[in-house]
Amino acid sequence: MTAVATPSQGVLTPHLEIVGGRPLAGSIQVSGAKNSALVLMATALLCDETLTLENVPQLTDIGGMGEVLSAVGVSVEDRRNGTLVLDGSGVSHAALPYELVNGLRASFFCIGPLLGRLGIAKVPMPGGCKIGARPIVEHVRGLKALGAAISIEHGVVSAAVPGTSRRLTGAHITLDCPSVGATETLLMAAVLARGTTVLENAAQEPEVTDLANLLIAMGARIQGAGTAVITIEGVERLGGTRYEVIPDRIEAGTFLLAAAITRSCLHVSPVVPEHLSAVLTKLQDCGCTIERDGRGLTLRADEIHAVDLRTQPFPGFPTDLQAPFMTLLATAKGTSVVSETIYENRMQHVAELQRLGASIRTQGSTAFVEGVPRLSGAPVTGSDLRASAAMVLAGLAAEGTTQVQGLQHLDRGYDDIEGKLRGVGASITRFNP
Ligand code: EPU
């Protein structure tokens, strides 16, 4: 279906215009997982052979990570069909340039593999972002336990392994909180360490398991990924391989919510249903019917009822779908209570949803969402990646035209969201004034 280009009503920044209230129908394709692909790319630093990644989404963050890796000597070839060919044979320097890492948190993934391979790394602090402070205490504590000497000066984390061998040493590490990034950093650091590392209270997110599976394909010895205890037996070297990134569970969840909020029927694939169990349960609790087939899920929605939800580490309800799911609940029958427990500042979408007519009251990181019969279009801005996705969902449901600004966030994490939604009947057009 062709998008209907409507007047942009004076919005002067790049934005999406969505004419809401249209039912969606058909099949929508899920790209490879952003949060897997970003960390998988960093493993190219661990070996001097070719790593071929398939099903890599086309995103600005992926391009940024490619530039960061190139800066330390990885050759990065983007074949533009979802295939990235990375060659770490030329990795020579261990200092990441600030101007490339600024704003790209994923660049901090380089510290673990650089330490593992070269015994030295200098990486600018990733810094906080709009959703919260996002400390790296657990990453640093774990790397120190593996034998690295670490100092943080002028916003740069300098890490080095003392001694002539420059090799990290396995250790028993218990994380204070199951940080995804810390688990991934320590996995990448420990695979080339001398001896065995045990990570307790490890993150269990599917992206961690994806990373472990890639490392195993490269020759690492890892057991327990996907559980709270991961055991890594260090090896002397890793080799190249070809590996396919898992489907993006958050993008898949966003499309299921697109079907639900427009009270439509959509087939979403590929999806690994186990990666979305908590989300599927909540969608069913609020009245959606979900059928599985070989590769994906079909969601049908008619009447949507209120449900309460609380974000938790995997396998709990993902924080990255809190804003999108709240948008659905803003149109549900009854009052829902949504509690954000992962990030201290992830309620900024509430004010924007209110501009569209939603009835939501917040108390700290808890939102009381009283469903309204309809939202109505207005100009809104997504303050971060998932808040932007929430605005797109709201626009699909709202009566009239919604202009969604903040596309620099959306483009970091959704590969051609407007093209995909247009393909299933949405009226959504990008304007670059
Ligand atoms: N935390 C600490 N200390 C630490 C590390 C983390 O207290 O040393 C806390 C954080 O403050 C936060 C919580 O632990 O409250 C979770 O942080 P985590 O380290 O698990 O998150 P992350 O690795 O920085 C990844 C994703 C995020 C996603 C979270 C949680 C990537 C590149 N990012 O971040 O994705 O929200 O896990 O699932 O993998 C997104 O895609 O929009 C996004 C923000």
Q: Which amino acid is at 359?
A: S
Q: Quick check: helix, strand or coil at residue 102?
A: coil
- Give domain limits for the chain: 10-30+248-431, 34-244
Hey, which CATH number is domain 10-30+248-431, 3.30.70.20, 3.40.309.10, 3.40.50.720, 3.65.10.10? 3.65.10.10
Whether 286 is catalytic is no
Q: pLDDT band for position 6 (50/70/90)?
A: very low
Say whether pLDDT at 1 is over 60: no
Phi-psi region of 219 (alpha: psi -120 to 50; beta: other; left: phi over 0): left
Question: Using a 6 Å cutoff on CB, does residue 347 contact ligand 1?
Answer: no
Question: Using a 6 Å cutoff on CB, does residue 132 contact ligand 1?
Answer: yes
Please compute, for residue 60, the number of CA atoms within 13 A of its CA located in the half-sphere on the CB side: 12
Mean pLDDT over each residue of the chain, to the nearest integer: 94
Say whether pLDDT at 3 is over 60: no
Q: pLDDT band for position 92 (50/70/90)?
A: confident
Q: Fold match between 10-30+248-431 and 34-244?
A: yes
Average pLDDT rounded to a whole number, residues 322-339: 98
**Nearest protein CA to atom 39 of ligand 1, as residue:** 35
Chain-centroid distance, C-alpha 147 = 30
Our mutation pick for probing the ligand 1 site, out of 180, 312, 317, counting the most ligand atoms within 8 A of Cβ, is: 180
153 CA distance to ligand 1 middle (Å) = 23
- Tokens representing 227 are 């559980």
Q: Which CATH architecture has domain 34-244?
A: Alpha-beta prism (3.65)
Which residue stretches of 157-246 are H helix? 180-190, 206-217
pLDDT at res. 9? 59
Average pLDDT rounded to a whole number, residues 394-403: 97
Closest ligand 1 atom to Cα of 319: 36
Q: Is the pTM of this model over 0.85?
A: yes
Distance CA 214, CA 324 (A): 30
Question: Using a 6 Å cutoff on CB, does residue 135 contact ligand 1?
Answer: yes
Structure confidence by residue, pLDDT tens digits, 284-330: 999 999 999 989 999 999 999 999 999 999 999 999 999 999 999 99
Say whether pLDDT at 347 is over 90: yes
